[in-house]
Amino acid sequence: MVKGIDPKRVPAHVAIVMDGNGRWARQRGLPRVDGHAAGEDALFDTVEGALALGLGWLTVFAFSTENWRRPLDEVRFLMDFNEGILVRHRDDLHARGVRMRFMGRRAGRVPRRVLRRMEETEALTRRNRGMTLTIAFNYGGRAEIVDAARSLAAEVAAGRLEPDRIDEARVRRALYAPDMPDPDLVIRTSGESRISNFLLWEAAYSELFFTDVLWPDFRRDHLFEAVRDFQRRERRFGAIR
Ligand code: IPE
Ligand code: IPE
Ligand code: MG
Ligand 2 atom nearest residue 17's Cα:
5
What stretch of H or E contains 32?
helix 32-53
* DSSP β-ladder status, 132-139 and 57-64: parallel
What pairs with residue 35 in β-bridges? none
Q: What is the DSSP string of 110-128?
A: S-HHHHHHHHHHHHHHTT-
Strand order in the sheet with 99-103: 99-103, 132-139, 57-64, 13-17, 185-188, 207-210
Distance between CA 33 and CA 26 in Å, rounded?
A: 10
The response to whether residue 216 sits with its C-beta less than 6 Å from ligand 1 reads no
Q: At what angle do helices 32-53 and 72-95 cross, to 10 degrees?
A: 20
Q: Which pLDDT belongs to residue 241?
A: 82
- Note whether 172 and 201 are within 8 A (CB): yes
**Which residue's alpha carbon is at the smallest distance from atom 1 of ligand 2?**
196
Query: Whose Cα sits closest to atom 1 in ligand 1?
Result: 19
**Residues 5, 228: Cα–Cα separation, whole Å:** 6
Distances (CA, A) of 189 to 6, 20, 80, 113: 24, 7, 23, 30
Rounded to 5 degrees, what angle do the CA atoms 207, 58, 49 make? 95
Ligand that lies nearest to the alpha carbon of residue 66, given by its number in the listed order: 2
Q: Does CATH place domain 12-139+182-217 in 3.40.50.1820?
A: no
Catalytic residue among 6, 21, 45, 67: 67
Q: Which contiguous run of DSSP H or E holds residue 132?
A: strand 132-139
pLDDT in tens, the chain (241 residues): 899 999 999 999 999 999 999 999 999 999 999 999 999 999 999 999 999 999 999 999 999 999 999 999 999 999 999 999 999 999 999 999 999 999 999 988 999 999 999 999 999 999 999 999 999 999 999 999 999 999 999 999 999 999 999 999 999 999 999 999 999 999 999 999 999 999 999 999 999 999 999 999 999 999 999 999 999 999 999 999 8
CB 213 within 8 A of CB 21: no
d(CA 214, CA 23): 8
Q: Which atom of ligand 1 is nearest to the CA of 26?
A: 14
Query: pTM for this structure?
Result: 0.98
With a CB cutoff of 8 Å and minimum separation 6, the contacts of 88 are: 40
Instruction: Answer yes or no: 67 catalytic.
Output: yes
What local confidence, expressed as pLDDT, does residue 175 receive? 98
Cβ atoms of residues 135 and 39 within 8 Å = no
The DSSP secondary-structure symbol of 107 reads S
CA distances from 136 to 9, 141, 152, 194, 236 (A): 25, 10, 22, 17, 28
Residue 196 CA to its chain's centroid (Å)? 12
